[in-house]
């Protein structure tokens, strides 16, 4: 497959008004999306004569610019647009199906600061697009071919803004827990990152009678992820201790992932959450094929914890999209990433931080135990993750010194650990992960690899 130019691990992302995140690219992408819809590539299960695309966004200032540019491109090809406003990514995926749209588009740069923005696209089935389809979108976006295929007259698409979408999505979530009652005995601290969850998350949990203490719920267009949310959980952790809450949860900018702290204000490893939720699903006989899908970044300790439960672990490449694809291929129904993306395939087509928070709340209600005790199901192997900025992403296989350093570290670990090196799909960074018997040793190994990589790539 050809190398993709626009799309990274999770859609398109970059600095707003700098290539590729420009209004011009968004206009062309809108046309390309509508063209594939007209060819029935994105909407294989959608045979409605009047085709439409739902567009949502997080709370970034630049979202106004990009949603309008994308919509202009879509309408110019004879496809309608439904604006949903600020909504979590998972809500866009869900409402694409609920509203029988041909595709769904989310304008968001997730956990990045407000200067950035990005685009994620879903097919009519609510799933993120496979690589081959993204490549087709790129080819049409980067060419002038579609300018000769524009609609005219009455065939030009229409755009409208839909109200009550938050209520629609809330209903779709709460129906999965309708037999488990309310959450009146739980106190929850919630950090909405001044992002897409700022309204729906506190509203949903308050409607379930939980005692909700909310921070990061006053977006102004430029404060998304600003010392709040999933990347900055310390404020939430402090609040949990002060208010003596049962747990805390922090969402990222588009709320497709969740980071948790326990009742003592201690951060919980994402792999510990996967272990806890896997145990819960297995106890309910709801874990299909007794298998969980994670990524190559998950800790070896998770494998051990799941094995003790009689649960198998399969690894996909980094990106919740790849976790989802592997789950679909083998008919598994639970998987996720150490970073907090969790996919409950019986409930959702993509990672959903709010759904994860609901699952945690009902788990605590059922078990009637402190989360600080329950998290001990998972004992991590020592792990070091080093992120280094790189000026360019040279193929790792061509970096001789780096390859030699990796092989030497693997030899020294002698089967008692592992090494994984990759480039970020969304940033100019290399990620070096080393696991082993003790922290001091793996820190030293990770530094060796990082130094070799920087020396070669500078």
Written as tens digits, the pLDDT of the chain (458 aa) is: 566 789 987 899 999 999 999 999 999 999 999 999 999 888 765 555 689 999 999 999 999 999 999 999 999 999 999 999 999 999 999 999 999 999 999 999 999 999 999 999 999 999 999 999 999 999 999 999 999 999 999 999 999 999 889 999 999 999 999 999 999 999 999 999 999 999 999 999 999 999 999 999 999 999 999 999 999 999 999 999 999 999 999 999 999 999 999 999 999 999 999 999 999 999 999 999 999 999 988 998 999 999 999 999 999 998 898 999 999 999 999 999 999 999 999 999 999 999 999 999 999 999 999 999 999 999 999 989 999 999 889 999 999 999 999 999 999 999 888 999 999 877 889 999 999 989 999 999 999 999 999 999 87
Instruction: Tell me which architecture the domain covering 169-377 has in CATH.
Output: 3-Layer(aba) Sandwich (3.40)
pLDDT tens-digit series, residues 154-165: 999 999 999 889
Total count of residues recorded for the chain: 458
Q: How far apart are CA 446 and CA 100, in angstroms?
A: 48
The domain 383-457 is placed in CATH, from the list 3.30.310.50, 3.50.50.60, 3.30.70.20, 3.40.50.300, at: 3.30.310.50
Q: How far apart are CA 11 and CA 2, in angstroms?
A: 16
Q: What are the start and end residues of each CATH 3.40.120.10 domain in the chain?
A: 12-163, 169-377
Long-range pairs for 365-369 at CB < 8 Å and ≥24 separation?
Answer: 365/180, 365/181, 365/183, 365/185, 365/186, 366/180, 366/280
Q: What are the start and end residues of each CATH 3.30.310.50 domain in the chain?
A: 383-457
Binding-site residue positions for Mg(2+): 110, 252, 254, 256
Contacts of 18 (CB under 8 A, 6+ apart): none
Nearest to 81, CA basis, from 101, 108, 64, 57: 101
CA torsion, ordered 440, 446, 449, 451, to nearest 10 deg: -80
Looking up tokens 């979530």 gives: 173
Q: How far apart are CA 458 and CA 447, in angstroms?
A: 16
Nearest to 360, CA basis, from 270, 434, 287, 229: 270
The string of DSSP codes covering 365-380 is: HHH-S-HHHHGGG--P
Binding-site residue positions: 110, 252, 254, 256
Domain 12-163 has CATH 3.40.120.10: yes
First-to-last alpha carbon distance for the chain, in angstroms, is 28
pLDDT tens-digit series, residues 27-67: 999 999 999 999 988 876 555 568 999 999 999 999 999 99
The string of DSSP codes covering 367-423 is: H-S-HHHHGGG--PPPEEEEEEE-SS---GGG-HHHHHHHHHHHHHHTTSSEEEEEE
Contacts of 128 (CB under 8 A, 6+ apart): 11, 93, 120, 121, 122, 321, 324, 350
Catalytic, 339? Answer no
Say what the pLDDT of residue 318 is: 87
Q: Which of 52, 110, 298, 324 is catalytic?
A: 110
* DSSP3 helix / strand / coil % (the chain, rounded to 5): 40, 20, 40
């Amino acid at each position: 497959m050809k190398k993709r130019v626009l799309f990274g691990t999770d859609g398109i992302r970059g600095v707003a008004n700098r290539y590729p995140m420009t209004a011009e690219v968004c206009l062309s992408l809108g046309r390309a999306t509508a063209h594939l819809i007209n060819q029935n590539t994105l909407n294989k299960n959608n045979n409605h004569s009047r085709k439409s695309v739902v567009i949502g966004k997080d709370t970034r200032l630049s979202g106004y610019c990009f949603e309008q540019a994308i919509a202009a491109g879509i309408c110019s090809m004879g496809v309608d647009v439904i604006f949903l406003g600020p909504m979590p990514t998972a809500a866009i995926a869900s409402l694409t199906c609920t509203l029988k749209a041909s595709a769904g588009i989310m304008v968001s740069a997730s956990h990045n600061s407000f200067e950035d923005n990005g685009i994620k696209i879903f097919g009519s089935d609510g799933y993120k697009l496979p690589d081959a389809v993204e490549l087709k979108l790129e080819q049409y976006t980067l060419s002038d071919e579609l300018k000769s295929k524009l609609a005219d007259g009455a065939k030009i698409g229409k755009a409208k803004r839909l109200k009550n979408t938050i209520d629609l999505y809330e209903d779709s979530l709460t129906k999965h827990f309708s037999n488990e009652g309310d959450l009146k005995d739980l106190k929850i601290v919630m950090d909405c990152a001044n992002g897409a969850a700022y309204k729906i998350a506190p509203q949903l949990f308050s409607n379930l009678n939980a005692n909700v203490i909310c921070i990061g719920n006053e977006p102004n267009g430029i404060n998304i992820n600003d010392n709040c949310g999933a990347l900055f959980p310390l404020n939430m952790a402090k609040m949990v201790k002060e208010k003596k809450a049962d747990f805390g949860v922090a969402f990222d900018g588009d709320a497709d992932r969740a980071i948790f702290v326990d009742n003592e204000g201690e951060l919980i490893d994402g792999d510990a959450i996967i272990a806890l939720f896997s145990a819960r699903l297995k106890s309910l006989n709801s874990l299909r094929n007794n298998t969980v899908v994670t990524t190559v970044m998950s800790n070896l300790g998770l494998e051990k914890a799941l094995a003790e439960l009689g649960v198998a672990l399969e690894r996909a490449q980094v990106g919740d999209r790849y976790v989802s694809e592997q789950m679909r291929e083998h008919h598994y129904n639970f998987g996720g990433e150490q970073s907090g993306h969790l996919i409950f395939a019986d409930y959702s087509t993509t990672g959903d931080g709010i759904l994860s928070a609901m699952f945690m709340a009902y788990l605590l209600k059922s078990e009637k135990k402190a989360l600080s005790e329950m998290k001990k199901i998972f004992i991590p192997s020592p792990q070091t993750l080093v992120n280094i900025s790189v000026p360019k992403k040279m193929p790792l296989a061509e970096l001789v010194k780096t390859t030699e350093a990796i092989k030497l570290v693997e030899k020294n670990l002698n089967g008692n650990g592992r090494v994984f090196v990759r480039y970020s799909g969304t940033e100019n960074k290399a990620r070096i992960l080393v696991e082993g018997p003790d922290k001091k040793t793996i820190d030293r190994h990770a530094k060796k690899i990082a130094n070799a990589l920087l020396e070669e790539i500078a």
